[in-house]
Structure 1
Amino acid sequence: MPQVQELKGNIRVFCRVRPVAFSSSTPPSSLTPSTPSSCSLLTGAQISESEKQSGKKNAIHFDKIFSSDSSQEEVFEETAPLVVSVMDGYNICIFAYGQTGSGKTHTMEGRSEARGVNYRALDMLFRLALERRTTMKYEFKVSLMEIYNEQLKDLLELHDSKGEMKRLDVKPDPSSSSTSSTYVPDLKLVTVQDLEDVQRVIALGMKNRSTSSTQMNEQSSRSHCVFSVYVTCHDLLKGGNFFGKMHLIDLAGSERLSRTGATGERLTEAKNINKSLSALGNCVSALVAKSKHIPFRDSKLTHLLQDSLAGDAKVLMFVCSSPCDSDAPETSCSLQFATRARGVELG
């Protein structure tokens, strides 16, 4: 049984290095764990050319590093202790960050033969609910939305009764005593009881997600995808209810506009993606500095996650990285952001 993560502590950061694509003509860099089981990453992508020629490498430390041959099972085994906490009433935030094509969607969603964190998390929650059925009764609901060009879009119910696009926004949660608690009015919540229900929900939502082709990725996600799980627990022995919420997020890829070849609508999308990722970075920096004001309202993404990135929430970040030297600038930015995130103390 996974151990519940301690309430107080830093944001946990896992680094996952994707394999070199078979079609890639660029050689891999020295982006590798210092030892097979190490939490230190050796990288030549962040140092000068003279240092690289001298063979010097930098070591960056994370809570866990997964090499390019790590399986989905190995990744989730380290993630599971955090997932358990949502059944004990905590807000959980697990998100994948990195450049376009670095493996974020594979980590969070995966494929039918290699399921990612989203499916494995729900599978574990269902099994735990069955094990605890004599003392606890759990109810699970899910939602699936995307943040596209700074607009919230319900991927399970695109239009209202008049056939118009539903306009959603983030609001303070009136049912919570916490001033930081947020919710999205009119967001469709679907009750799920098993993995088949989850698969149907995700399959429907992914058909409606905004994707397009760029020079960096043939099927690039143009939005942040937020799969949320809402858990209601009824204590059968002591009475009373408590609630937990878990956001599982596949962020749109961070990218330099010069590399994507974006124009027109794609350019607008890229600018909004980078703007919201910058807002996330600003919130992380403010949390590290323990500022009195955290700029959560600077973007829809950070406003939505306000109650899941601070206070008693538990946060895990996957920084997904490319091993290719041609991607070194983006990899460097991703690793620097992840290093800052790891310095945030919660609780």
Structure 2
Amino acid sequence: MSFLVLQNIKKSFGQTQVVKDFNMSIDKGEFVSFLGPSGCGKTTVLRMIAGFESPSDGTVTINGKNQNSLKTSQRNIGMVFQAYALFPNMNVFDNVAFGLKVAGMAKPDIESRVKDMLKLIHLEHLADRYPYQMSGGQQQRVALARALAPKPQVLLLDEPLSALDAKIRVSLREEIRQIQRQLGITTVFVTHDQEEALSISDRIVVMNAGRADQIGTPSDIYNRPATRFVASFVGTLNIIEAIVSDPAANTIRIGDNLVTLREPIAALKNGDTVSIALRPEAGSMSETAKCDTMLSGKVVSSHFLGSVIRTKLDVGGSQISFDMFNSPDAALPQPGELVSLRFMAHDLLLVRE
């Protein structure tokens, strides 16, 4: 059953509409990421859930209760910010205990709850330290514990990892996901990092210019992008312009190559231009590769990237990148070399606007 419902949400600042008719239902215990570039409206939606902003139109409902008229302090929301926002004059224990003291919890209960939270984030030994004595990753874990201490009904995280270095980001995002699963708390996570969203989410909302372009599982978002924006924003993707050859037979032409699509194109007509997408990892030059489709072209460039060899191929004027796993015996394709790229027809996606 839906626990957090955003219905017909709109938000304008002056004449500028930054969120446009946003709708979504989130189940209890679900981890949902809002993914998109800067300025797409994802943080504004988060702030409306938290009560920091009021919708220009629409309703925010949590556990069946309309939240629009409630202040932030009345919503039982836990919030973690990008900049940690810890109190510099308080040690770790007092930072985590702050919300509990404001709520009037008894001192023995506060001590017990804070100890539980510090154990949860593995920082029991740092209870007496101050924020300036801690690393960025440690501070963000304290901010997470502080947000969770009052047992909120929803946890909101606004780009909490973007200020950290890459290695700490990966370990902390895994820790956040583990804690979220352990507590079963409904969570909304805002990020512009597609790898973060793909790796830890139950579902992803890809936002573009104030709208949800697509809502789906990480697998759906990556493998079956619904729009050109989603296809280009999530992962690396080849967008290939093709000509419809035989709509009834779902056949298109890419350069000199005739290709049959799995997706029906009977609504189009012969000679129409269509955009086709292909993930770089879908193709192979190996003659033993499982395939039902081939594209022949000329190698433009080839780069050794450690675990991967990335090659760019010119196929009838379209440049297609594809990746091969490195092996000690692998030879880089040479510029000007004629090669065949092999893949399965179902790996080709018809891209809609």
TM-score of the pair, normalised by structure 1: 0.29
Greater RCO between the two (CA within 8 Å, min separation 6)?
1
TM-score of the pair, normalised by structure 2: 0.29
